């Protein structure tokens, strides 16, 4: 007997030290001597559980309980093993037996709450977390678990309260910081959310769930490269985590990489076929690829799995606007009920309002539509202000002023020798919603041309230039310190990126609309490039921007900022017309719609290509489209968007005032450059 007790003491000591193999050998020694040693059987079950041998653990603890069925802690231990093994119902039964024997067991209350939460029985789970806290108020994990329940119930302030308490009790709990970060993002406090995710990853550098959630908030505020990097880290850490693959797909799609996004979202769906957000994201990616019927199937699956999934309704609204889908009255009523409640996050509330605004617009209820759009824009503006990244008119005006001061005619006369002389690049610029996507689709429908989408590379090269030249000047003044080799190397880097997917194309279109700010730099990189400037009625452009959910554009949330931005855009384009050595061709949206064949032929001729009738069938082009026009450009040409602003005229006085001379009193015809 004494030898068995000595062996049992050794087993317990080894278990406490995490020496599982030695602990198991000592337990076996005890049981060889005394097969009905209940404590040893219970301890052996704990060891087998740590070794991942759940069936053996369940058998050992079951044998212990057969000998002493009134031990409440052993029922709790058996419940934990069942939980680890994925047997949630059995775990619940075990925890209930434990509490029947000892209602004062705070750990059992907490564990039972966790299992009930897994089953979706949130109200009962909350009762057990509260019971655990009444028994032991200084336990951190019941606060964290109760916070998770309150978050799922839409009680965000209660969730924040319990997360804060959990964090005070245990500041080094990475899971608490991850959960707190998620809810801070949901209530529109992204800067604080980022702090929590960074802290969680310092505590647990290989915490894949925190990497995924961190990426979500980074994507929300437009830091897409970082979002992709964190998602890739999550996938590396947990290749079996569906959320990580879906998150990476979302971030890649936001960057314009639909084909790559498709691969990762489909991988997430294989891992978890009933993953509602995976179906939703796949539906969005398929929409970008023009596969509308498949997109609808997956978006409807997403809503069937989660009727409260706001993102799926929003993606369906894009299709509904162009008669590819029709919302039911019940769906519209459900969206309104969601918006009236307190469960949607800030981001979800924005999307709901854009979606309901689109539905009202489609139905001709313009005043109601504008109310939804205005609320959505006001909310998003507040979110950017909270993150400290809202549009700064003064900073933008200074940027345009510096660009105009530097890029005078004499800069281009000081030509670099050995510059990149390819004629491949075509830069399509203009305001968003001015027809840039349509122009790219027309050109890329030509057999000798291709579209590259909205590449960020020119802006990134400009941002990189000051450090490359090693001086103290910012862009664009740092160009005065750049030698011919530097310029050529930058041009080669960009050209490689531009042509990597279509190396045989004679012309490749970069339709990054914002490149209008970098046309001087582009002229230095590619002296034989062509520029196409898309123009549209400023009021229609401004309204269309206001009606669109532009996550990464910071000036599009206030009518005053839209008008301000347009005026500086027009001022800079007027400057380029006077100094830029590159050929520039204007495409006026209204003229393109009015004489589609004639304007398209002029466009293709400007690109240096022979006419091809396939350009008239641009809507059959299968290349991915990421912009707000991704459904629109799959339709034949139509004119219903011309003069749309007049339906909302009573609401657009701030835009008219901000546009000044570019407002509706000045015609587009007067703004055309003189030959």
Alpha-carbon gap, residue 239 to 555, rounded angstroms: 38
Give the pLDDT mean for 122-138: 94
Q: Higher confidence at residue 187 or residue 632?
A: 187
- Would residue 429 be called left, alpha or beta, if left means φ above 0 and alpha means ψ between -120 and 50 degrees? beta
When pLDDT is cut at 50, 70 and 90, the band that residue 508 belongs to is very high
Bridge partners (DSSP) listed for residue 587? 534
The string of pLDDT tens digits covering residues 276-299 is: 999 999 999 998 888 888 999 999
The string of pLDDT tens digits covering residues 16-73 is: 888 888 888 888 887 888 888 888 888 888 888 888 889 988 998 899 899 999 999 9
Least confident among 147-151, 228-232, 581-585: 147-151
Least confident among 165-174, 456-465, 586-595, 620-629: 620-629
Query: What are the tokens at 622?
Result: 């299968």
When pLDDT is cut at 50, 70 and 90, the band that residue 474 belongs to is very high
Instruction: Cite the residue boundaries of each domain of the chain with CATH code 3.40.50.300.
Output: 393-671
- In this prediction, residue 523 carries a pLDDT of 95
Judge whether 529 and 425 are in contact, CB under 8 Å.
yes
Burial class (CB in 10 A: 0-12, 13-18, 19+), 95: buried
1-61 has CATH 2.40.10.10 classification: no
According to DSSP H, which parts of 445-518 are helical?
457-469, 484-499
pLDDT above 90 as % of the chain:
65
- In this prediction, residue 190 carries a pLDDT of 86
- In this prediction, residue 70 carries a pLDDT of 92
DSSP state of 547: T
Residue 477's alpha-carbon distances to 144, 397, 402, 460, 520, in angstroms, are 52, 16, 8, 16, 12
The string of pLDDT tens digits covering residues 361-378 is: 999 999 999 999 999 999
Give the pLDDT mean for 497-503: 86
Those residues whose C-beta lies under 8 Å from the C-beta of residue 554, and which sit 6 or more positions away, are 222, 384, 389, 390, 391
* 3-state secondary structure labels for all residues of 218-253: HHHCCCHHHHHHHHHHHHHHCCCCHHHHHHHHHHHH
- In this prediction, residue 34 carries a pLDDT of 84
Alpha-carbon gap, residue 48 to 89, rounded angstroms: 21
- In this prediction, residue 4 carries a pLDDT of 67
- In this prediction, residue 246 carries a pLDDT of 94
- In this prediction, residue 518 carries a pLDDT of 97
The string of pLDDT tens digits covering residues 346-357 is: 888 999 999 999
Q: Compute the CA torsion angle 517, 519, 521, 522 (nearest 10 deg).
A: 130
Q: Higher confidence at residue 453 or residue 212?
A: 212
Residues composing the chain: 675
Judge whether 410 and 578 are in contact, CB under 8 Å.
no
The string of pLDDT tens digits covering residues 600-656 is: 999 999 999 999 999 888 666 555 555 545 555 445 556 777 899 999 999 999 999
- In this prediction, residue 216 carries a pLDDT of 92
- In this prediction, residue 621 carries a pLDDT of 52
The string of pLDDT tens digits covering residues 546-559 is: 999 887 789 999 99
Neighbours of 254 (CB within 10 A): 19
Instruction: Cite the residue boundaries of each domain of the chain with CATH code 1.25.40.10.
Output: 1-61
Judge whether 107 and 138 are in contact, CB under 8 Å.
no
- In this prediction, residue 414 carries a pLDDT of 67
The string of pLDDT tens digits covering residues 218-238 is: 987 778 889 999 999 999 999
pLDDT above 70 as % of the chain:
94
DSSP labels, 313-366: HHHHHHHHHTTS----HHHHHHHHHHHHSS-S-HHHHHHHHHHHHHHHHHTT-H
- In this prediction, residue 624 carries a pLDDT of 53
- In this prediction, residue 387 carries a pLDDT of 75
The string of pLDDT tens digits covering residues 405-446 is: 999 998 887 655 446 789 999 999 999 999 998 999 899 999
Give the pLDDT mean for 148-161: 88
Whether residue 666 has pLDDT greater than 80:
no
- In this prediction, residue 396 carries a pLDDT of 97
Strand 449-451 and strand 530-535: pairing?
unpaired
What homologous superfamily does CATH list for 393-671?
P-loop containing nucleotide triphosphate hydrolases (3.40.50.300)
- In this prediction, residue 619 carries a pLDDT of 64
- In this prediction, residue 559 carries a pLDDT of 98
Mean of the per-residue pLDDT values of the chain: 89
Whether residue 668 has pLDDT greater than 50:
no
Give the pLDDT mean for 494-503: 88
Alpha-carbon gap, residue 292 to 322, rounded angstroms: 11
- In this prediction, residue 673 carries a pLDDT of 40
């Amino acid at each position: 007997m004494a030898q068995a007790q000595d062996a049992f003491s050794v087993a317990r000591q080894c278990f406490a030290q995490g020496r599982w193999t030695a602990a198991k050998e000592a337990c076996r020694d005890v049981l060889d001597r005394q097969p009905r040693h209940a404590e040893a059987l219970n301890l052996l079950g704990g060891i087998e559980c740590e070794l991942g041998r759940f069936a053996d653990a369940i058998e050992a603890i079951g044998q212990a309980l057969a000998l002493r069925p009134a031990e409440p802690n052993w029922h709790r231990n058996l419940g934990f093993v069942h939980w680890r093994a994925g047997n949630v119902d059995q775990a619940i039964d075990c925890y209930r037996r434990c509490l029947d024997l000892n209602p004062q067991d705070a750990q059992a209350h907490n564990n039972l709450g966790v299992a009930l939460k897994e089953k979706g029985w949130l109200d009962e789970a909350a009762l057990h977390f509260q019971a655990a806290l009444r028994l032991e108020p200084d336990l951190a994990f019941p606060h964290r678990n109760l916070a998770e329940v309150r978050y799922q119930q839409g009680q965000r302030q209660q969730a924040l309260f319990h997360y804060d308490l959990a964090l005070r009790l245990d500041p080094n709990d990475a899971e608490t910081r991850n959960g707190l970060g998620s809810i801070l993002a949901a209530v529109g406090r992204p800067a604080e959310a980022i702090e929590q995710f960074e802290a969680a990853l310092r505590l647990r550098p290989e915490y894949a769930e925190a990497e995924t959630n961190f990426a979500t908030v980074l994507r929300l505020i437009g830091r897409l490269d970082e979002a992709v990097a964190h998602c890739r880290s999550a996938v590396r850490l947990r290749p079996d985590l569906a959320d990580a693959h879906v998150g990476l797909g979302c971030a890649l799609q936001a960057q314009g990489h639909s084909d790559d996004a498709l691969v990762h979202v489909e991988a997430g769906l294989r891992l978890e076929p009933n993953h509602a957000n995976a179906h939703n994201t796949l539906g969005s990616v398929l929409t970008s690829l023009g596969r509308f019927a498949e997109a609808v199937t997956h978006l409807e699956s997403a809503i069937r799995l989660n009727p409260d999934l706001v993102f799926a309704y929003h993606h369906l609204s894009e299709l509904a606007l162009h008669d590819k889908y029709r919302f039911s009255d019940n769906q519209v009523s459900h969206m309104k009920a969601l918006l009236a409640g307190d469960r949607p996050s800030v981001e979800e509330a924005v999307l709901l309002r854009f979606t309901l605004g689109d539905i009202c617009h489609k139905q001709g209820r313009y005043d109601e539509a504008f109310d939804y759009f205005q609320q959505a824009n006001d909310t998003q503006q507040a979110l950017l202000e909270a993150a400290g990244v809202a549009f700064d008119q003064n900073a933008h005006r200074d940027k345009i002023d510096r660009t105009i001061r530097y890029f005078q005619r004499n800069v281009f006369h000081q030509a670099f020798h050995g510059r990149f002389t390819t004629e491949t690049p075509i830069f399509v610029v203009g305001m968003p919603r001015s027809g840039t996507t349509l122009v790219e689709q027309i050109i890329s429908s030509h057999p000798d041309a291709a579209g590259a989408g909205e590449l960020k590379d020119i802006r990134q090269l400009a941002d990189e230039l000051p450090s490359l030249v090693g001086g103290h000047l910012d862009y664009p003044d740092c160009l005065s310190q750049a030698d011919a080799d530097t310029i050529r190397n930058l041009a080669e880097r960009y050209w490689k990126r531009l042509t990597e997917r279509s190396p045989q194309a004679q012309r490749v279109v970069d339709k990054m609309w914002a490149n209008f700010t970098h046309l001087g730099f582009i002229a230095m990189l590619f002296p034989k490039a062509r520029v196409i400037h898309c123009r549209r009625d400023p009021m229609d452009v401004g309204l269309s921007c206001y009606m669109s959910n532009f996550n990464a554009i910071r000036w599009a949330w206030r009518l005053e900022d839209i008008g301000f931005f347009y005026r500086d855009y027009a001022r800079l384009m007027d400057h380029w017309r006077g100094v830029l050595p590159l050929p520039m061709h204007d495409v006026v949206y209204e003229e393109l719609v009015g004489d589609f064949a004639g304007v398209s032929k002029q466009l293709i001729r400007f690109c240096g290509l022979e006419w091809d009738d396939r350009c008239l069938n641009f809507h059959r082009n299968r290349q991915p489209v990421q912009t707000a026009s991704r459904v629109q450009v799959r339709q034949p040409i139509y004119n219903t968007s011309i003069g749309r602003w007049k339906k909302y005229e009573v609401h657009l006085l701030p835009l008219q005032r901000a546009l000044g001379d570019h407002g509706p009193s000045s015609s587009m015809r007067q703004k055309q450059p003189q030959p």
